[in-house]
Structure 1
Amino acid sequence: MGDSVLTASVLLFDMDGTLVDSTASVERAWGRFAARHGLEATAILAVAHGRPTIEVVAEFAPAGVDVVAETDRIEAEEIDRTDGISEIPGAAALLSGLDRDRWAVVTSATRALTTRRLAAVGIPLPKILVAADDVTKGKPHPQPYMLAAKALGFEAGDAVVFEDAPAGLMSARAAGAATVVVGDYKGDAAEGLPRIADMLAVTVSADDTGLTVTLA
Protein backbone atom coordinates (compact mmCIF):
# COMPACT_ATOMS: atom_id res chain seq x y z
CA MET A 1 0.00 0.00 0.00
CA GLY A 2 1.34 3.44 -0.90
CA ASP A 3 1.85 6.39 1.38
CA SER A 4 -1.14 8.48 2.46
CA VAL A 5 -0.90 12.21 1.82
CA LEU A 6 -2.97 14.81 3.65
CA THR A 7 -2.98 18.60 3.41
CA ALA A 8 -3.60 20.97 6.29
CA SER A 9 -2.98 24.43 7.65
CA VAL A 10 -2.16 23.22 11.16
CA LEU A 11 -1.39 19.99 13.00
CA LEU A 12 -2.96 19.09 16.35
CA PHE A 13 -1.50 16.38 18.58
CA ASP A 14 -2.92 14.50 21.52
CA MET A 15 -0.25 13.79 24.16
CA ASP A 16 -0.60 10.48 26.00
CA GLY A 17 -0.27 7.60 23.57
CA THR A 18 0.46 9.97 20.68
CA LEU A 19 3.56 11.92 21.73
CA VAL A 20 4.32 10.34 25.11
CA ASP A 21 4.01 6.71 26.19
CA SER A 22 2.72 7.10 29.73
CA THR A 23 0.81 3.82 29.91
CA ALA A 24 2.72 2.35 32.84
CA SER A 25 2.53 5.57 34.88
CA VAL A 26 -1.20 5.97 34.23
CA GLU A 27 -1.95 2.36 35.10
CA ARG A 28 -0.05 2.66 38.37
CA ALA A 29 -1.90 5.87 39.27
CA TRP A 30 -5.32 4.34 38.66
CA GLY A 31 -4.23 1.19 40.46
CA ARG A 32 -3.43 3.25 43.57
CA PHE A 33 -6.79 5.03 43.29
CA ALA A 34 -8.62 1.71 42.97
CA ALA A 35 -6.78 0.22 45.95
CA ARG A 36 -7.60 3.23 48.15
CA HIS A 37 -11.31 2.83 47.52
CA GLY A 38 -11.76 -0.91 47.05
CA LEU A 39 -12.44 -0.61 43.32
CA GLU A 40 -11.56 -2.80 40.35
CA ALA A 41 -8.68 -1.17 38.47
CA THR A 42 -9.35 -2.95 35.19
CA ALA A 43 -12.84 -1.45 34.96
CA ILE A 44 -11.40 2.05 35.43
CA LEU A 45 -8.59 1.54 32.91
CA ALA A 46 -11.07 0.30 30.33
CA VAL A 47 -12.63 3.77 30.06
CA ALA A 48 -10.05 6.20 31.49
CA HIS A 49 -7.71 6.66 28.53
CA GLY A 50 -8.04 10.03 26.82
CA ARG A 51 -10.54 11.43 29.32
CA PRO A 52 -10.02 14.12 31.99
CA THR A 53 -9.03 12.59 35.32
CA ILE A 54 -11.75 14.42 37.23
CA GLU A 55 -14.46 12.89 35.02
CA VAL A 56 -13.16 9.38 35.67
CA VAL A 57 -12.84 9.98 39.40
CA ALA A 58 -16.41 11.30 39.50
CA GLU A 59 -17.65 8.21 37.67
CA PHE A 60 -15.98 5.66 39.94
CA ALA A 61 -15.41 7.25 43.34
CA PRO A 62 -17.63 5.88 46.12
CA ALA A 63 -20.25 8.16 47.64
CA GLY A 64 -18.74 10.69 50.01
CA VAL A 65 -15.34 10.88 48.37
CA ASP A 66 -14.13 14.42 47.63
CA VAL A 67 -13.76 14.21 43.86
CA VAL A 68 -11.64 17.35 43.52
CA ALA A 69 -9.27 16.37 46.33
CA GLU A 70 -8.89 12.86 44.92
CA THR A 71 -8.21 14.25 41.44
CA ASP A 72 -5.59 16.61 42.86
CA ARG A 73 -3.91 13.67 44.62
CA ILE A 74 -3.73 11.59 41.45
CA GLU A 75 -2.41 14.60 39.54
CA ALA A 76 0.28 15.31 42.14
CA GLU A 77 1.39 11.68 42.13
CA GLU A 78 1.75 11.64 38.36
CA ILE A 79 3.67 14.92 38.28
CA ASP A 80 6.08 13.57 40.89
CA ARG A 81 6.54 10.21 39.14
CA THR A 82 7.89 10.49 35.60
CA ASP A 83 9.68 7.15 35.74
CA GLY A 84 8.39 4.72 33.16
CA ILE A 85 7.31 7.32 30.60
CA SER A 86 9.01 7.69 27.23
CA GLU A 87 8.74 9.51 23.92
CA ILE A 88 6.63 7.92 21.22
CA PRO A 89 9.31 7.24 18.57
CA GLY A 90 9.86 10.21 16.28
CA ALA A 91 7.78 12.71 18.26
CA ALA A 92 10.54 15.03 19.42
CA ALA A 93 12.23 15.19 16.03
CA LEU A 94 8.96 15.82 14.21
CA LEU A 95 7.81 18.64 16.47
CA SER A 96 11.26 20.23 16.65
CA GLY A 97 11.16 20.63 12.87
CA LEU A 98 7.74 22.30 12.69
CA ASP A 99 6.88 26.00 12.71
CA ARG A 100 5.56 26.63 16.24
CA ASP A 101 2.69 28.68 14.79
CA ARG A 102 1.45 25.60 12.92
CA TRP A 103 0.97 23.01 15.65
CA ALA A 104 -0.58 22.56 19.08
CA VAL A 105 -1.03 19.91 21.75
CA VAL A 106 -4.59 19.04 22.76
CA THR A 107 -4.81 16.82 25.82
CA SER A 108 -7.14 15.62 28.55
CA ALA A 109 -4.27 15.94 31.02
CA THR A 110 -3.87 19.14 33.01
CA ARG A 111 -1.47 21.84 31.89
CA ALA A 112 0.95 21.11 34.75
CA LEU A 113 1.08 17.40 34.01
CA THR A 114 1.40 17.97 30.26
CA THR A 115 4.37 20.30 30.52
CA ARG A 116 6.02 17.93 33.01
CA ARG A 117 5.64 14.89 30.77
CA LEU A 118 6.72 16.63 27.56
CA ALA A 119 9.80 18.09 29.24
CA ALA A 120 10.67 14.75 30.84
CA VAL A 121 10.97 13.01 27.46
CA GLY A 122 12.58 15.89 25.55
CA ILE A 123 9.62 16.99 23.45
CA PRO A 124 9.46 20.75 22.79
CA LEU A 125 6.73 22.61 24.61
CA PRO A 126 4.05 23.94 22.27
CA LYS A 127 3.24 27.59 21.76
CA ILE A 128 -0.43 26.59 21.95
CA LEU A 129 -1.59 24.02 24.48
CA VAL A 130 -5.23 23.14 25.15
CA ALA A 131 -5.35 21.09 28.33
CA ALA A 132 -8.07 19.88 30.68
CA ASP A 133 -7.87 23.22 32.51
CA ASP A 134 -8.79 25.12 29.36
CA VAL A 135 -12.08 23.51 28.34
CA THR A 136 -15.60 23.32 29.70
CA LYS A 137 -16.33 20.14 27.75
CA GLY A 138 -13.54 17.60 27.35
CA LYS A 139 -13.03 14.87 24.78
CA PRO A 140 -15.06 13.25 23.21
CA HIS A 141 -16.73 16.66 22.81
CA PRO A 142 -15.21 18.59 19.85
CA GLN A 143 -14.48 21.70 21.93
CA PRO A 144 -10.79 20.94 22.67
CA TYR A 145 -9.80 20.60 19.03
CA MET A 146 -11.95 23.52 17.93
CA LEU A 147 -10.30 25.75 20.54
CA ALA A 148 -6.79 24.70 19.53
CA ALA A 149 -7.37 25.36 15.84
CA LYS A 150 -8.90 28.75 16.62
CA ALA A 151 -5.94 29.67 18.83
CA LEU A 152 -3.68 29.02 15.84
CA GLY A 153 -5.90 31.18 13.62
CA PHE A 154 -7.74 28.44 11.74
CA GLU A 155 -10.80 26.24 11.86
CA ALA A 156 -10.64 22.61 12.93
CA GLY A 157 -11.53 21.64 9.37
CA ASP A 158 -8.13 23.04 8.35
CA ALA A 159 -6.30 20.68 10.73
CA VAL A 160 -4.88 17.19 10.74
CA VAL A 161 -5.24 15.59 14.18
CA PHE A 162 -3.10 12.76 15.56
CA GLU A 163 -4.91 10.68 18.22
CA ASP A 164 -4.72 7.24 19.79
CA ALA A 165 -7.81 6.91 22.02
CA PRO A 166 -11.52 6.60 21.24
CA ALA A 167 -12.52 9.75 23.16
CA GLY A 168 -9.95 11.82 21.27
CA LEU A 169 -10.76 10.31 17.90
CA MET A 170 -14.43 11.10 18.41
CA SER A 171 -13.54 14.64 19.48
CA ALA A 172 -11.39 15.27 16.41
CA ARG A 173 -13.89 13.79 14.00
CA ALA A 174 -16.76 15.76 15.53
CA ALA A 175 -14.69 18.95 15.17
CA GLY A 176 -14.37 18.27 11.44
CA ALA A 177 -10.62 17.64 11.39
CA ALA A 178 -8.85 15.09 9.24
CA THR A 179 -7.86 12.46 11.79
CA VAL A 180 -4.99 9.97 11.96
CA VAL A 181 -4.95 7.01 14.34
CA VAL A 182 -1.66 6.50 16.21
CA GLY A 183 -1.08 2.99 17.51
CA ASP A 184 -3.25 -0.09 17.55
CA TYR A 185 -6.72 1.03 18.64
CA LYS A 186 -9.18 -0.57 16.20
CA GLY A 187 -12.61 0.27 17.64
CA ASP A 188 -15.49 2.08 15.96
CA ALA A 189 -13.96 5.54 16.48
CA ALA A 190 -11.05 4.56 14.21
CA GLU A 191 -13.20 3.20 11.39
CA GLY A 192 -12.00 4.34 7.97
CA LEU A 193 -9.14 6.50 9.26
CA PRO A 194 -5.49 6.36 8.18
CA ARG A 195 -3.21 4.73 10.75
CA ILE A 196 0.45 4.98 11.76
CA ALA A 197 2.48 3.03 14.30
CA ASP A 198 4.31 6.08 15.65
CA MET A 199 5.65 9.50 14.65
CA LEU A 200 8.54 8.02 12.67
CA ALA A 201 5.93 7.43 9.96
CA VAL A 202 5.12 11.16 9.58
CA THR A 203 6.84 13.58 7.21
CA VAL A 204 5.71 17.19 6.94
CA SER A 205 6.63 19.73 4.28
CA ALA A 206 5.52 23.35 4.23
CA ASP A 207 5.00 25.94 1.51
CA ASP A 208 2.96 29.09 0.99
CA THR A 209 -0.26 27.10 0.67
CA GLY A 210 0.10 25.16 3.91
CA LEU A 211 1.36 21.77 5.09
CA THR A 212 1.64 18.48 3.28
CA VAL A 213 1.60 15.49 5.61
CA THR A 214 2.88 12.17 4.31
CA LEU A 215 2.13 9.01 6.29
CA ALA A 216 4.39 6.06 5.52
Structure 2
Amino acid sequence: MDDIEAVLLDMDGTLVDSDGAVERAWRRWAADYRVDPETVLRISPGKTALTTIRQVAPHLDAQAARRAARYQTELQLADAVDTKPLPGATCLLDTLDRLALPWAVVTSADADLAAARLGAAGITPPVLVTADDVRAGKPDPEGYRLAAARLGVPAERCLVVEDAPAGIAAGQRAGARVAALRGHPADLRIPDLHALVALLTPPAAG
Protein backbone atom coordinates (compact mmCIF):
# COMPACT_ATOMS: atom_id res chain seq x y z
CA MET A 1 0.00 0.00 0.00
CA ASP A 2 3.06 2.27 -0.10
CA ASP A 3 2.01 3.68 -3.47
CA ILE A 4 -1.37 4.94 -2.18
CA GLU A 5 -1.44 8.72 -1.78
CA ALA A 6 -5.14 9.25 -0.97
CA VAL A 7 -8.23 7.29 0.03
CA LEU A 8 -11.67 7.86 -1.51
CA LEU A 9 -14.56 6.43 0.48
CA ASP A 10 -18.14 5.66 -0.38
CA MET A 11 -20.64 6.73 2.29
CA ASP A 12 -23.67 4.44 2.68
CA GLY A 13 -22.72 0.92 3.65
CA THR A 14 -19.03 1.79 3.72
CA LEU A 15 -18.60 4.55 6.30
CA VAL A 16 -22.10 4.80 7.75
CA ASP A 17 -24.79 2.29 8.63
CA SER A 18 -27.83 3.47 6.69
CA ASP A 19 -29.04 0.13 5.32
CA GLY A 20 -32.25 0.13 7.35
CA ALA A 21 -33.17 3.70 6.43
CA VAL A 22 -32.41 3.12 2.75
CA GLU A 23 -34.52 -0.03 2.63
CA ARG A 24 -37.46 1.60 4.44
CA ALA A 25 -37.40 4.58 2.07
CA TRP A 26 -37.24 2.46 -1.06
CA ARG A 27 -40.02 0.14 0.14
CA ARG A 28 -42.26 3.11 0.87
CA TRP A 29 -41.41 4.65 -2.49
CA ALA A 30 -42.02 1.37 -4.33
CA ALA A 31 -45.41 0.96 -2.68
CA ASP A 32 -46.43 4.50 -3.61
CA TYR A 33 -45.29 4.08 -7.22
CA ARG A 34 -46.50 0.47 -7.54
CA VAL A 35 -43.07 -0.90 -8.35
CA ASP A 36 -41.74 -4.25 -7.14
CA PRO A 37 -39.67 -3.39 -4.03
CA GLU A 38 -37.36 -6.40 -4.36
CA THR A 39 -36.34 -5.28 -7.85
CA VAL A 40 -35.66 -1.78 -6.56
CA LEU A 41 -33.58 -3.03 -3.63
CA ARG A 42 -31.59 -5.32 -5.90
CA ILE A 43 -30.48 -2.66 -8.37
CA SER A 44 -30.35 0.51 -6.24
CA PRO A 45 -27.14 0.01 -4.17
CA GLY A 46 -24.48 2.55 -5.08
CA LYS A 47 -26.67 4.41 -7.57
CA THR A 48 -28.42 7.75 -7.39
CA ALA A 49 -32.15 7.73 -6.77
CA LEU A 50 -32.74 9.14 -10.25
CA THR A 51 -30.64 6.45 -11.94
CA THR A 52 -32.54 3.72 -10.09
CA ILE A 53 -35.92 5.26 -10.85
CA ARG A 54 -35.13 5.52 -14.55
CA GLN A 55 -34.42 1.78 -14.52
CA VAL A 56 -37.41 0.58 -12.51
CA ALA A 57 -39.98 3.11 -13.77
CA PRO A 58 -39.07 3.81 -17.40
CA HIS A 59 -42.66 4.91 -18.08
CA LEU A 60 -42.05 8.13 -16.12
CA ASP A 61 -41.07 11.13 -18.23
CA ALA A 62 -38.03 13.20 -17.27
CA GLN A 63 -39.94 15.64 -15.08
CA ALA A 64 -41.89 12.91 -13.30
CA ALA A 65 -38.70 10.90 -12.72
CA ARG A 66 -36.99 13.91 -11.13
CA ARG A 67 -40.04 14.49 -8.95
CA ALA A 68 -40.02 10.83 -7.90
CA ALA A 69 -36.31 11.05 -7.06
CA ARG A 70 -36.88 14.12 -4.90
CA TYR A 71 -39.64 12.31 -3.04
CA GLN A 72 -37.44 9.27 -2.46
CA THR A 73 -34.64 11.47 -1.13
CA GLU A 74 -37.10 13.23 1.19
CA LEU A 75 -38.09 9.85 2.61
CA GLN A 76 -34.43 9.09 3.34
CA LEU A 77 -33.83 12.54 4.84
CA ALA A 78 -36.70 12.04 7.26
CA ASP A 79 -35.00 8.85 8.48
CA ALA A 80 -31.38 10.05 8.64
CA VAL A 81 -31.11 11.04 12.30
CA ASP A 82 -30.19 7.55 13.57
CA THR A 83 -27.28 7.07 11.14
CA LYS A 84 -24.16 5.75 12.87
CA PRO A 85 -20.59 5.10 11.72
CA LEU A 86 -19.94 1.50 10.75
CA PRO A 87 -17.48 -0.54 12.83
CA GLY A 88 -13.94 0.59 12.11
CA ALA A 89 -14.96 3.84 10.41
CA THR A 90 -13.79 6.18 13.16
CA CYS A 91 -10.56 4.21 13.60
CA LEU A 92 -9.92 4.32 9.84
CA LEU A 93 -10.44 8.07 9.57
CA ASP A 94 -8.25 8.70 12.61
CA THR A 95 -5.57 6.50 11.02
CA LEU A 96 -5.73 8.38 7.72
CA ASP A 97 -5.30 11.68 9.55
CA ARG A 98 -2.42 10.29 11.61
CA LEU A 99 -0.69 9.01 8.46
CA ALA A 100 -1.38 12.35 6.71
CA LEU A 101 -3.19 10.49 3.93
CA PRO A 102 -5.73 12.80 2.26
CA TRP A 103 -9.24 11.38 2.08
CA ALA A 104 -12.61 12.21 0.59
CA VAL A 105 -16.16 10.89 0.61
CA VAL A 106 -17.83 10.19 -2.74
CA THR A 107 -21.53 9.40 -2.49
CA SER A 108 -24.55 8.90 -4.71
CA ALA A 109 -26.62 10.85 -2.17
CA ASP A 110 -27.37 14.50 -2.79
CA ALA A 111 -25.71 17.20 -0.69
CA ASP A 112 -28.55 17.52 1.84
CA LEU A 113 -28.79 13.79 2.51
CA ALA A 114 -25.02 13.39 2.67
CA ALA A 115 -24.74 16.24 5.17
CA ALA A 116 -27.53 14.77 7.30
CA ARG A 117 -26.07 11.27 7.41
CA LEU A 118 -22.45 12.29 7.88
CA GLY A 119 -23.46 14.83 10.51
CA ALA A 120 -25.46 12.24 12.43
CA ALA A 121 -22.46 9.90 12.30
CA GLY A 122 -20.05 12.62 13.43
CA ILE A 123 -17.98 12.51 10.23
CA THR A 124 -16.66 15.68 8.59
CA PRO A 125 -14.83 14.86 5.35
CA PRO A 126 -12.21 17.32 4.10
CA VAL A 127 -13.60 16.77 0.59
CA LEU A 128 -17.15 15.66 -0.19
CA VAL A 129 -18.43 14.81 -3.67
CA THR A 130 -22.18 14.21 -3.93
CA ALA A 131 -24.68 13.54 -6.69
CA ASP A 132 -25.10 17.31 -6.98
CA ASP A 133 -21.47 17.69 -8.08
CA VAL A 134 -21.53 15.36 -11.08
CA ARG A 135 -23.44 14.92 -14.30
CA ALA A 136 -23.31 11.12 -14.16
CA GLY A 137 -23.50 8.98 -11.03
CA LYS A 138 -21.85 5.67 -10.27
CA PRO A 139 -20.88 3.44 -12.09
CA ASP A 140 -19.60 6.45 -14.05
CA PRO A 141 -16.12 7.39 -12.73
CA GLU A 142 -16.77 11.15 -12.70
CA GLY A 143 -17.27 11.39 -8.94
CA TYR A 144 -14.06 9.58 -8.06
CA ARG A 145 -12.06 11.50 -10.64
CA LEU A 146 -13.43 14.76 -9.25
CA ALA A 147 -12.55 13.80 -5.66
CA ALA A 148 -9.01 12.86 -6.68
CA ALA A 149 -8.62 16.16 -8.51
CA ARG A 150 -9.87 18.13 -5.51
CA LEU A 151 -7.31 16.35 -3.33
CA GLY A 152 -4.59 17.03 -5.90
CA VAL A 153 -3.75 13.34 -6.28
CA PRO A 154 -3.86 11.33 -9.54
CA ALA A 155 -6.72 8.84 -9.48
CA GLU A 156 -4.22 6.08 -10.22
CA ARG A 157 -2.59 6.78 -6.84
CA CYS A 158 -5.88 6.59 -4.93
CA LEU A 159 -7.53 3.73 -3.07
CA VAL A 160 -11.31 3.61 -3.45
CA VAL A 161 -13.28 1.87 -0.68
CA GLU A 162 -16.71 0.62 -1.74
CA ASP A 163 -19.47 -1.81 -0.82
CA ALA A 164 -21.56 -1.96 -4.02
CA PRO A 165 -20.86 -3.13 -7.59
CA ALA A 166 -21.76 0.24 -9.11
CA GLY A 167 -19.24 2.02 -6.89
CA ILE A 168 -16.57 -0.61 -7.45
CA ALA A 169 -16.99 -0.18 -11.21
CA ALA A 170 -16.76 3.61 -10.82
CA GLY A 171 -13.49 3.35 -8.92
CA GLN A 172 -12.00 0.92 -11.41
CA ARG A 173 -13.04 3.08 -14.37
CA ALA A 174 -11.42 6.06 -12.67
CA GLY A 175 -8.15 4.12 -12.69
CA ALA A 176 -7.94 3.73 -8.92
CA ARG A 177 -7.22 0.63 -6.91
CA VAL A 178 -10.42 -0.60 -5.23
CA ALA A 179 -10.96 -2.25 -1.85
CA ALA A 180 -14.37 -3.91 -1.60
CA LEU A 181 -16.53 -4.82 1.37
CA ARG A 182 -19.32 -7.44 1.47
CA GLY A 183 -17.31 -9.98 -0.52
CA HIS A 184 -17.53 -8.20 -3.86
CA PRO A 185 -14.67 -8.86 -6.31
CA ALA A 186 -12.12 -6.04 -6.53
CA ASP A 187 -8.38 -5.43 -6.24
CA LEU A 188 -8.66 -6.03 -2.49
CA ARG A 189 -11.40 -7.75 -0.53
CA ILE A 190 -11.72 -6.61 3.07
CA PRO A 191 -14.12 -8.02 5.68
CA ASP A 192 -14.43 -4.67 7.45
CA LEU A 193 -12.73 -1.31 7.88
CA HIS A 194 -10.54 -2.59 10.72
CA ALA A 195 -8.86 -4.83 8.14
CA LEU A 196 -8.11 -1.80 5.99
CA VAL A 197 -6.56 -0.02 8.97
CA ALA A 198 -4.22 -2.99 9.40
CA LEU A 199 -3.22 -2.85 5.72
CA LEU A 200 -2.53 0.87 5.85
CA THR A 201 -0.63 0.89 9.14
CA PRO A 202 3.11 0.26 8.84
CA PRO A 203 4.34 -2.59 11.05
CA ALA A 204 5.96 -1.51 14.29
CA ALA A 205 9.74 -1.39 14.23
CA GLY A 206 11.65 -4.05 16.14
**TM-score past 0.5 threshold:** yes
Residue equivalent to 1:50: 46
Residue equivalent to 1:209: none
Cα distance change of structure 1 residues 101 and 213 upon mapping to structure 2, 3 Å threshold: closer
**1:15 aligned onto 2:2:** no
Residue equivalent to 2:163: 164
Q: Output the CA distance in 1 between the equivalents of 2:36 and 2:124.
A: 35
Percent of matched pairs sharing the same residue: 37
Q: Output the CA distance in 1 between the equivalents of 2:200 and 2:94.
A: 15
Residue equivalent to 1:202: 196
**1:213 aligned onto 2:190:** no
Give 1:39 shift.
1.3
Matches within 5 A, 1:106-185: 106-122=106-122, 124-185=123-184
TM (normalized to structure 1)?
Answer: 0.84
RMSD of the TM alignment (CA)? 2.1
Q: Which amino acid aligns with 2:37?
A: A
Q: Output the CA distance in 2 between the equivalents of 1:26 and 1:6.
A: 36
Q: Output the CA distance in 2 between the equivalents of 1:37 and 1:62.
A: 12
Cα distance change of structure 1 residues 62 and 89 upon mapping to structure 2, 3 Å threshold: same
> Residue by residue, what CA displacement relative to the aligned partner does 1:49-95 show, whole Å, maximum 9, x if unpaired?
00011111122236356111111111112112126643210102321
After TM superposition, the structure 1 stretch with the greater mean CA deviation from structure 2, 23-32 or 85-94, is: 85-94
Aligned residues: 198
- Structure having the higher strand fraction is 1
After TM superposition, the structure 1 stretch with the greater mean CA deviation from structure 2, 150-159 or 75-84, is: 75-84
3-state SS of 1:11 partner: strand
Q: Output the CA distance in 2 between the equivalents of 1:47 and 1:93.
A: 30
TM (normalized to structure 2)?
Answer: 0.87
**1:70 aligned onto 2:68:** yes
After TM superposition, the structure 1 stretch with the greater mean CA deviation from structure 2, 10-19 or 93-102, is: 93-102
- Structure having the higher helix fraction is 2
Q: Which amino acid aligns with 1:128?
A: V
> Residue by residue, what CA displacement relative to the aligned partner does 1:106-161 show, whole Å, maximum 9, x if unpaired?
11111111111111122x21121111110112111111111100000111001011
Runs of 4+ off more than 4 Å: none
Q: Output the CA distance in 2 between the equivalents of 1:60 and 1:84.
A: 28
Q: Output the CA distance in 1 between the equivalents of 2:73 and 2:38.
A: 19
Kept after mapping to 1: 8 A contact 2:7/2:103: yes
Q: Output the CA distance in 2 between the equivalents of 1:129 and 1:59.
A: 26
Q: Output the CA distance in 2 between the equivalents of 1:7 and 1:45.
A: 36
